[in-house]
Amino acid sequence: MNLDDAILQLISRQDVPDQFVLQSLLEEAGHTPSQSTLSRRLKKLSVQKVNGRYQRSEPPVMPVPLAPKVTIIEAPPNMLVLKTAPGYAQIFGLALDREEVEGLAGTVAGDDTIFIAVRDPSYLRDVREAVEELIQRGP
């Protein structure tokens, strides 16, 4: 049994109040970690002292950011305006510029708004579809 498994087994089977006791128990089980090694292993394993004894605690789950709400506004004859959450416009603008969409003349992005220039009004629908696809896929 490796050191990590031994630590987890010991703290799950009995109350271990401190590292000195844990180190002694590990030595009885045939492991001789130094105090600094033991501290590093406890941290790696998410083992913390709770209510006076060591327990494994699950690391906090980071929330998955929601996709930003994006609104597309047509401004005929050859302009689209994208409204995004603050901070997302430049990301979407750069991603759209890299898509090499036929008919796209270019973008100008601020913090939460992108102006999308279309070369010719006949491309407006195609560029909008490319923008919608990018929104679905994510930048």
pLDDT at 63: 54
- The answer on pLDDT for 116 being more than 60 is yes
For 10-24, how does the pLDDT look when each residue is reduced to its tens digit (9 = 90+)? 999 999 999 999 999
CA proximity to 92, closest of 129, 131, 64: 131
Rounded distance between C-alpha atoms, residue 122 and residue 125, angstroms: 7
Residues in the chain: 139
Q: Please give the residue that has the higher pLDDT: either 51 or 68.
A: 51
Assign 6 to helix, strand or coil.
helix
CB atoms within 10 A of CB 83: 15
- pLDDT band per the 50, 70, 90 thresholds, residue 125: very high
Q: Please give the residue that has the higher pLDDT: either 139 or 94.
A: 94
Q: How many CA atoms lie within 13 A of 73 on its CB side?
A: 8
Number of helical H runs and strand E runs in the chain: 5, 6
**For the purposes of burial, counting CB atoms within 10 Å of the CB of 90, is it exposed (0-12), middle (13-18) or buried (19 or more)?**
middle
